[in-house]
Structure 1
């Protein structure tokens, strides 16, 4: 018959230790340290993702506000003659800087996120949306037909800095 030793039967020998040893404590501390660093890394990634999303949403809002404002001015204020520079070239309209600020997520640390935007508005030339109309009455009174611009296309490019790179969106709209 095989004799089973006492420590396999659940009886403790007088030399067995009670509690945790220094090695177990150091391993537990190292594991907790790695978990803490991982959580901090995730929190930083969440802040960057939130800033990227807010930046893009803010750029869309800025572009739409510019299109709405120029639409409220009316097409008569955006003629080629009014948009030409001294050399006779139509230059884009630059609006710089436009600031948007958001409150960070609620919690222990409150922070504000501020994004600086730069908008560049390109207005289509008059000839792109020009209509020529004529009638028998107009042709009898004069030799030319009547021309008018019935719409203008606006291309609004909004750019902003994010993590050492320049992000941008382009929104187009037509005003009448």
Structure 2
């Protein structure tokens, strides 16, 4: 039995320590944004954020997550109140089939948390591990830049200033 902190909540998980995080997220916690794609950490569909870093959940065993914070797409926002990255991807219509997009949003979110104004080349390099055949790559690029602007604007709102004090 181990405690896994996902989206700010502690969960008691009874699983083999070598179990990939993806299986626990989907099967035990019913968080289905991260997708099973290749199972080898080569496609990016399963990407989540662990302590601020984008990781492939299909190859990350539970044993490495004790005491760490896991964030999934569900932990960023909701349909009623989407996070800036989610809102930007919707506004730019960056998803086509949608299978890879949650992983891309998570990797983009991790990038924007450490670099609030990435260049096109930095965004492309960050998203390079993701396989996507939909053809919305320019929309995805625009969505990441839009999210950066939305995040910058959100930091300046009076509500944010009040909650930071």
Q: TM-score, normalised by structure 1?
A: 0.18
Larger relative contact order (C-alpha < 8 A, sep ≥ 6)? 2
Bigger proportion of residues as strand = 1
**TM-score, with normalisation over the residues of structure 2?**
0.19
